[in-house]
Amino acid sequence: MPTGSAATEEHAIEVFRQHGGMLRTTEAIRQGIHPRTLYALRKRRAVIELSRGLYRLANLPTLGNPDLTTVALKVPSGIVCLISALAYYELTTLVPHEVYLALPKGRKPPRLESPPLRIFHYDPHSFREGVAIQEVDGVPLRIYEPEKTLADCFKFRNKIGLDAALEALKLYMHRRKKDLTGLQKYARLCRVERVMKPYLEALL
């Protein structure tokens, strides 16, 4: 039976397992893991540091989307949006090199060493509408629904490019499962109904 530091580390690993294999430093300490134990686990590569202050058991399967997982854990108040949301729903050929994240107006951007973030500030009503909870690597992720994402892309077309919005709309319209009523609802919410109308009519 392990004793001393080995028993302490074994207990810490069990706490990690009980929390899905990932813990932030503050949460680990709250669960009774001493910082010394955490650093010892990192030193012997029993845990890996995904980003500053976020640790994961090393023997777990490789993360499918480490950037989104990290953001979900470290910025739970943010909502994945625009190009990152399009990529998640496979509605773009673009590969985002930053995580596009929505925050309410007035909220200070979080400081993350990794992954890089591109912040978009939304008015309160638009911010809370059309949010879906998806599970990424066992972690709940707040992300806008496809229809809300499309409307947002037209709203922010001057920042992300009209081509990106048009490509996403075209890919969406070729899908068998789509919600045109929901799309029109969010187009009205984002005040882009007139902008989107001719493109929608051309694709119908």
The whole model's pTM is what?
0.75
Summarised one tens digit per residue, pLDDT across range 160-203 is 999 999 999 999 999 888 999 999 999 999 999 999 999 998 88
Domain ranges of the chain: 4-57, 66-203
pLDDT, position 168: 96
> Taking CA 149 as the corner, what is the angle to CA 146 and CA 154, rounded to the nearest 5 degrees?
130
φ, ψ for residue 59, nearest 5 deg:
-90, 10
Give the C-alpha separation, 165 to 199, whole Å.
10
**Domain at 4-57: CATH code:** 1.10.10
Torsion of CA 177, 180, 185, 187, to 10 degrees: 100
φ, ψ for residue 140, nearest 5 deg:
-70, 130
pLDDT of the chain, 204 residues: tens digit per residue:
344 577 788 888 888 888 878 888 888 888 888 888 888 888 888 888 877 788 888 887 766 788 898 899 888 899 999 999 999 999 999 988 899 999 999 888 888 777 899 999 999 999 999 999 998 887 889 999 999 999 999 999 999 999 999 999 999 999 888 999 999 999 999 999 999 999 998 887
